[in-house]
């Protein structure tokens, strides 16, 4: 039996984060938050309260605001789970540092994720997808889509981009899941160990590549930044760890949840099959509709007035992608999946200076994954009722634990 929640919850400040019961739908409590206005108060696991931003306009104003910090070392930073406490002693590159340090690291990394480079990788990603589907079909007429397809495809793709040996992708798969999906006290040490394992591997690999450079983004960063003294090996290993973990786990969750969403919306899937040209827009709509990276925590360093509320210096602020992407003032029929929707203003990749650096890669992987799956397996369907698909705990990334399918 689960332990009772002993948090002292303020009136109208419900416990947060909230658990989804359907993988692609908001938690039931989100409607209550929206009714309170564009900003609402919630209670975190440690008893502290924070603001949740529900309004699309307000979120777009706040995310680029330099008065909101992503630095978890700030003692007022809103903690989403117990294991984050163990990470306070160090700043996570790119996603956990503010400007000017963030701008320096982003300028260093972003050329490796440009559209031209990602388009050049598409044929190789297609081969990866087809090989995985071949392996699934060779085993019979059923599979666990998460472990057999959704996890290995982005894992191999990010290794390809970074220039990390293919044969080592399995090493990162389980560790990446622990880093981004562990939420409870008992999993904190496991998440820390997993992050440390990846960090050490990449630190050692960077040392090898200094003497023997090859192709890949990691090698470019070594020759263009490390050897020129613009970055040291410790920081470069940290940056590479963030890129590897984020590039693997986010898209893995997105593939699984998107397949489930389309299978549960057969009219939308039929339209997509009838017109493959709809795929890029459909992928953006799936990012909007599912909003798997739902919580973007910040801490206010100065007072900020927004949405009729005063956020005081030291207040925790959590911008909800899901609430912003389902805001009816920003999207017509926001709670409906519509693959023909012009969903380009969604914030599933964030907004402002911390907008996801790997979004071009994520879009390419999603387009290829869905195209190959639904074209090669025209009878793809769930092997269990959708109500039995287990939703991941409400933490960094939403997704499904497993997805049994048949064809």
162-166, 188-192, 240-244, 334-338: which has the minimum mean pLDDT? 188-192
For 335-346, how does the pLDDT look when each residue is reduced to its tens digit (9 = 90+)? 999 999 987 789
Q: pLDDT value at position 186?
A: 57
Given pLDDT bands bounded at 50, 70 and 90, which one contains residue 237? very high
Is the pLDDT assigned to residue 44 strictly greater than 90?
yes
Q: Which of 99, 24, 101, 34 is nearest to 307 (CA)?
A: 34
21-27: long-range contacts (C-beta < 8 A, 24 or more apart)?
21/391, 22/391, 23/257, 23/260, 23/261, 23/290, 23/389, 23/391, 23/398, 23/399, 23/400, 24/257, 24/260, 24/261, 24/264, 24/289, 24/290, 26/322, 26/323, 26/326, 27/394
Q: Report the DSSP beta bridge partners of residue 296.
A: 319
Task: Indicate the average pLDDT of the chain.
Answer: 90
Highest-pLDDT range among 67-81, 180-194, 208-222, 357-371: 357-371
Q: In this predicted model, which residue has the larger pLDDT, 303 or 215?
A: 303
pLDDT average, residue stretch 221-247: 89
Domains and CATH numbers, the chain: 30-406 (1.10.630.10)
Is the pLDDT assigned to residue 187 strictly greater than 70?
no
20-34, 238-252, 255-269, 321-335: which has the minimum mean pLDDT? 238-252
For 277-300, how does the pLDDT look when each residue is reduced to its tens digit (9 = 90+)? 999 999 999 999 999 999 999 999
Peptide bond into 100 cis (omega under 30): yes
Q: In this predicted model, which residue has the larger pLDDT, 164 or 326?
A: 326
- How far, in Å, CA of 56 to CA of 59, rounded? 5
- What is this structure's pTM? 0.91
Given pLDDT bands bounded at 50, 70 and 90, which one contains residue 312? very high
């Amino acid at each position: 039996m689960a332990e009772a929640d002993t948090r002292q919850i303020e009136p109208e400040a419900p416990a947060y984060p909230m658990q989804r019961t359907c993988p692609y739908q908001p938690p039931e409590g989100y409607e209550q938050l929206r009714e309170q206005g564009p900003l609402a108060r919630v209670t975190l696991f440690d008893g502290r309260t924070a603001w949740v931003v529900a309004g699309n306009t307000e979120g777009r104003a706040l995310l680029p605001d330099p008065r909101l910090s992503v630095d978890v070392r700030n003692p007022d930073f809103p903690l989403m789970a117990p294991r984050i406490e163990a990470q306070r002693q160090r700043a996570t590159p790119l996603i956990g540092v503010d400007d000017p340090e963030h701008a320096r690291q982003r300028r260093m990394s972003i050329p490796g994720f440009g559209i031209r480079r990602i388009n050049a990788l598409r044929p190789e990603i297609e081969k990866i997808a087809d090989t995985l589907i071949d392996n699934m079909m060779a085993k019979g007429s059923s599979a666990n889509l998460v472990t057999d397809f959704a996890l290995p495809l982005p894992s191999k793709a990010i290794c390809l981009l970074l220039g990390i040996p293919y044969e080592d992708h399995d090493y990162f798969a389980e560790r990446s899941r622990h880093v981004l999906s562990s939420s409870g006290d008992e999993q904190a040490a496991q998440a820390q160990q997993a992050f440390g394992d990846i960090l050490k591997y990449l630190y050692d690999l960077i040392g090898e590549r200094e003497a023997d450079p090859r192709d890949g983004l990691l090698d470019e960063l070594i020759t263009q930044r490390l050897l020129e003294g613009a970055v040291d090996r410790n920081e470069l290993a940290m940056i590479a760890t963030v890129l590897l973990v984020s590039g693997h786990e986010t898209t893995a969750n997105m593939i699984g949840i998107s397949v489930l969403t389309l299978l549960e919306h057969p009219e939308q899937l039929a339209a997509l099959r009838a017109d493959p040209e709809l795929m890029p827009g459909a992928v953006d709509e799936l990012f909007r509709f599912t909003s798997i990276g739902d919580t973007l925590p910040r801490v206010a360093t100065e007072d900020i007035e927004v949405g009729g509320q005063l956020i005081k210096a030291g207040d925790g602020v959590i911008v909800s992608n899901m609430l912003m992407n389902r805001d009816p003032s920003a999207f017509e029929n926001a709670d409906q999946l519509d693959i023909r929707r012009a969903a380009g203003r969604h914030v599933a990749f964030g907004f402002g200076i911390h907008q996801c650096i790997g979004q071009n890669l994520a879009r390419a992987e999603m387009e290829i994954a869905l195209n190959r799956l639904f074209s090669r397996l025209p009878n793809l369907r769930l092997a269990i009722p959708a109500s039995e698909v287990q939703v991941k705990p409400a933490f960094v990334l939403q997704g499904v634990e497993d997805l049994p399918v048949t064809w």
